[in-house]
A and B are shown apart, each in its own frame.
Chain A
């Protein structure tokens, strides 16, 4: 369920970038610092090592800006020494974006039953339960996660933690 994240509100576009970096000390600080020092937006950021043997991490950044700013962001990222490659998934074609959230809801009676029913509809799994609370694990597009969290608000939402977006291109080829 991919979609072109190309909002054209006053020319501002939303792009999802995949960045392969050497997993060395300070690399994340370099990337994040580049965004803050040059005034670029970070809407979402995730990072984890993906090839242990070669020590490479993959950073997924969702950012927004005018087309010129997006081009600058990519060029500036490529300039960082530990960066192997920068891919703009939004430009490259169809891709899948997923996010996971853990959602804690407390309540009793009807509200508790309703929370469980909605969780079922949203394919959220119960990963912790007490007599007065649940923790749900919900995965999907950011919009789906947003909606689920909104629904839980009326039903005793206590807290939320989200991973941020991970994304991958559709089809057979890789970065």
Chain B
């Protein structure tokens, strides 16, 4: 008795409404026309028409990352699905909750090389958290609900639901399921108390402790960032963060050592290296973080809190592994710490050492003359916008690392970047998604001139939906990060890393109905930034910066944390073949 049977397409839309979905990023095509018609006939869900399916997936990621709600994508079969794959893989690597609905050819045509057929579940099997091919309309409603459950519970990730066209047309009764209890998927949320007790024991006796925090703090929700502050306050430990974790702990706190890893700060990396107790909270010992694993923090007892058991002991063997939601585990840690009557540790020697490392001022740069240093541009952008707590997205390259180094984040969900996959072209669509989820926020994509071209078509989307995103291009006329590696490894042979034949970004902006601005030198920088912020609607800024600047500090691939390069004078120009083989 669940009412009249309705077509699959209407089941989908009704399920999305029941799930609280407000925005869908999509692009129509033959295999999803019934769903588009169902969307046309309602006004609860807003459909955002992108200009390329990769843009839809990144926009959904940006929406998810900035709001904490799952992003939703709707694309057609064949090329629609394959175009979305990069965004799906990106969401997988960065644990972003996302549900991707793909059209598929009718069930009787599957396997026949039908027009616009591709094996979507096959292609996405290993770059999604889970996927479904729905062959029975009676299962459709439940599958959609289950897909959201899996995307958002445990370690978040993308879930693909492939829906043949005949299933969109066939009828079934739909009912909103009661609370989903998946028959096999039961993530562990609460950590083992005995392990947490053991961790506290180590922490209480540490002399050189460090909290190494990651994207899990953001994924766990805003309360996790609060709990992290509290944990730091009660323990007195220094804090470092991965690229994905920035904003999980206030950058303005004196306890914050900055980002760690390949382009992390000197103090963060050396504190990791020298620590005697390392508490990893929602991070995964990625190779960009650890450097040479056999030389990674050799004297540290390691505690690892992760919701995904497979992350524990994957890259680095730890002493205590705690499977659970990082927020819940921190809550227990704080409670046990307090119940033992422990107070904030003084750790004078440790802080003394850390402050010596800090005194190296590894991020210092000298802005001289009229040519703008990219680091300086980011510092000025930060100063001009911080009061508005902007949401920053990035593309991939040097500009991304400089943004991570020089833009301070005090709150979660403000920093959106492609960390694991490192996808050029992420920033603009992610900014569009973030802006949709936060209509009043200042959203800025800090971009490189090469990356921005990879999803440039999304300027049209921003125009259509009147999204006032700002794109701030650090235009060095190079794929700077590639050029930097060529400096480091290939004696400066710049094979195809020069950005030849660039468009005139100001005219390009105007062609898309945006405002275009150019900042040529230091005298125009602050005024240009001000104009960008004050101009209503979308704005693209072509900020000309020094062409050959490289990003430091740097732990080269295959080096240990205490073998950092602090400046260009340390760049040798050639690497061993073993080191060359690493990415």
Contact = CB atoms under 8 A, between A and B. Distances in A.
Interface of A: 22, 25-26, 29-30, 33-34, 37, 68, 71-72, 75-76, 78-79, 81-84
A83 B182 CA distance: 11
Given A25-B133, A81-B184, A82-B184, A68 B121 contact: no
A75 B129 CA distance: 14
Nearest to B187: A79
In this complex, the interface size class of chain B, counting residues with CB under 8 Å from chain A, is: 20 to 34
Contacts of A72: 310, 313-314
Contacts of A34: 126
Given A26-B125, A29-B125, A33-B126, A83 B184 contact: yes
Nearest to B311: A75
B185 A81 contact: yes
Interface in B136-193: 150, 182-185
Contacts of A37: 126
A84 B317 contact: no
A79 B310 contact: yes
Interface of B: 121-122, 125-126, 129-131, 133, 135, 150, 182-185, 308-310, 312-314, 317
A138 to B, nearest CB: 36
Given A33-B125, A81-B130, A76 B185 contact: no
A76 B129 CA distance: 12
A76 B183 contact: no
29 contacts: A22-B184, A25-B133, A25-B135, A26-B122, A26-B125, A26-B131, A26-B133, A29-B122, A29-B125, A30-B125, A33-B125, A34-B126, A37-B126, A68-B313, A68-B317, A72-B314, A75-B309, A75-B310, A76-B310, A78-B309, A79-B308, A79-B309, A79-B310, A81-B130, A81-B182, A81-B184, A82-B184, A84-B183, A84-B184
Nearest to A71: B313
B168 to A, nearest CB: 19
Contacts of A71: 313
A82 B125 CA distance: 13
Q: Nearest 8 CB-CB pairs, A to B?
A: A75-B310, A81-B130, A75-B309, A81-B185, A76-B310, A84-B184, A37-B126, A79-B310
A79 B135 CA distance: 24
A56 to B, nearest CB: 10
Given A30-B125, A72-B314, A75-B309, 16 more contacts: A25-B133, A26-B121, A26-B125, A26-B131, A68-B313, A72-B310, A75-B310, A75-B312, A75-B314, A78-B309, A79-B308, A81-B130, A81-B182, A81-B185, A82-B184, A84-B184
Contacts of A26: 121-122, 125, 131, 133
Contacts of A81: 129-130, 150, 182, 184-185
Contacts of A83: 184
A22 B317 contact: no
B260 to A, nearest CB: 24
Contacts of B125: 26, 29-30, 33
Contacts of B317: 68
Contacts of B126: 33-34, 37
Contacts of B121: 26
Contacts of A84: 183-184
A68 B308 CA distance: 16
Give the most central of A29, A76, A81: most B CB within 10 Å.
A81
A79 B313 CA distance: 15
A82 B150 CA distance: 11
Nearest to A37: B126
Contacts of A76: 310
A152 to B, nearest CB: 39
A68 B182 CA distance: 29
Give the most central of B129, B182, B184, B309: most A CB within 10 Å.
B184
Contacts of B150: 81
Contacts of A25: 133, 135
Contacts of A33: 125-126
A167 B185 CA distance: 25
Contacts of A78: 309-310
B225 to A, nearest CB: 26
B290 to A, nearest CB: 15
A133 B314 CA distance: 52
Nearest to B146: A81
A93 to B, nearest CB: 22
Contacts of B309: 75, 78-79
Nearest to A20: B184
A84 B186 CA distance: 10
A26 B123 CA distance: 12
Give the most central of B126, B133, B182, B308: most A CB within 10 Å.
B126
A165 B135 CA distance: 33
B122 A22 contact: no
A76 B314 CA distance: 10
Give the most central of A71, A79, A82, A84: most B CB within 10 Å.
A79
A83 B131 CA distance: 14
B579 to A, nearest CB: 22
A22 B130 CA distance: 14
A84 to B, nearest CB: 5
Contacts of A22: 183-184
B155 to A, nearest CB: 8
